[in-house]
Amino acid sequence: MQNKQAYQELIKWKDQEIQNLHKEIGILNNKIELIQNQAHNQIQTAYNNYLNQKEYKMVKLENENTKLKDEVKQLKFDLNKLQQELNLSQQNNKKSNQETEQKINNGFNNTNYVSIQQTSFI
């Protein structure tokens, strides 16, 4: 009888040990799930940071691109203005040269006329 009671105590003790192991397994499973969630959250955070940096770089590049386009527009405007000034200067120079040439020719003609008059007078 003591043998039967000893077996029952042993079975009871083993059952308790099994229950304790199930509890430990449950605790370990909870820890595993918690660690997996933390890992997932860290990966998601890292990915979000990557996307934010990528988006920041894209916005920065777009801003630089816009700035460069504005500079190109300004340079084209300045170039056009300089081209107009050059054309005007060339026109003024041509006009001035023509006027000077006309004055020279008029002076030459006047000299010839005076010379002819002097010759005729003689």
pLDDT in tens, 7-37: 899 999 999 999 999 999 999 999 999 999 9
Is position 69 within any domain?
A: yes
Alpha-carbon separation of residue 29 from 14, 44, 72, 119 (angstroms): 22, 22, 63, 132
Overall domain count for the chain: 1
Enter the pTM of the model: 0.50
Is position 119 within any domain?
A: no
Mapping DSSP to helix (H, G, I), strand (E, B) and coil, where does residue 101 land? Answer: helix
Helices within 1-122 (DSSP H only): 2-121
Measured distance CA(59)–CA(69) in Å, rounded: 15
Is position 3 within any domain?
A: yes
Looking at residue 76, its pLDDT comes to: 98
Looking at residue 117, its pLDDT comes to: 55
Measured distance CA(120)–CA(17) in Å, rounded: 151
Is position 103 within any domain?
A: no
Is position 120 within any domain?
A: no
| Residue pLDDT tens, the chain, 122 long | 678 888 899 999 999 999 999 999 999 999 999 999 999 999 999 999 999 999 999 999 999 999 999 999 999 999 999 999 999 999 999 999 998 888 887 766 655 555 555 555 55
Is position 27 within any domain?
A: yes
Radius of gyration over alpha carbons of the chain, in Å? 52
Measured distance CA(70)–CA(80) in Å, rounded: 15
Alpha-carbon separation of residue 115 from 22, 49, 103, 106, 119 (angstroms): 136, 96, 18, 14, 6
Q: Which domain holds residue 28?
A: 1-96
Is position 88 within any domain?
A: yes
Is position 109 within any domain?
A: no
